[in-house]
Amino acid sequence: MPLIPRALCLALMLAASGHAMAEEPSSGELRAQAKAIRDDAERAFKVTTYHCYDKFLVNACLDEAKLDRLKQVKVARALEAKASTMDRRKRVKAMEARLRKTEASGDTAPDGTQ
């Protein structure tokens, strides 16, 4: 059984204790965690595939290595999706604040309407 990279363990622990944390990690921190998981997944995949060629059932070993990498990449994708959602919410809030400010001042909207 391949070793689980440290970044994956960290991400799983953070996800499990996420509701207990007072403050969510920022989208930048989530993206950094996702990058670390992806990097560890690629590194582990290269090492595992290298050692697969020493085994009798090479293709089975390679298939398992690919599945392990895919599992880790899915965790990274989930973190990236959460970061994108956070960024999107932040942009929407900023846009709504600009709109309220424009409406409050009585100015015309950027598209020329009132």
- Residue 39 identity (one-letter amino acid): D
Query: Which residues does 109 contact at the CB level (< 8 Å), separation at least 6?
Result: 99, 102
d(CA 86, CA 44): 30
44: which 2 tokens? 């582990």
Stated pTM of the model? 0.65
- For position 95, what pLDDT does the model report? 95
Reference 11, options 40, 44, 34; nearest CA is: 34
Query: How would you write the pLDDT of the chain (114 residues) with one tens digit per residue?
Result: 445 556 555 555 555 555 445 588 888 999 999 999 999 999 999 999 999 999 999 999 999 999 999 999 999 999 999 999 999 999 999 999 999 999 988 765 556 555
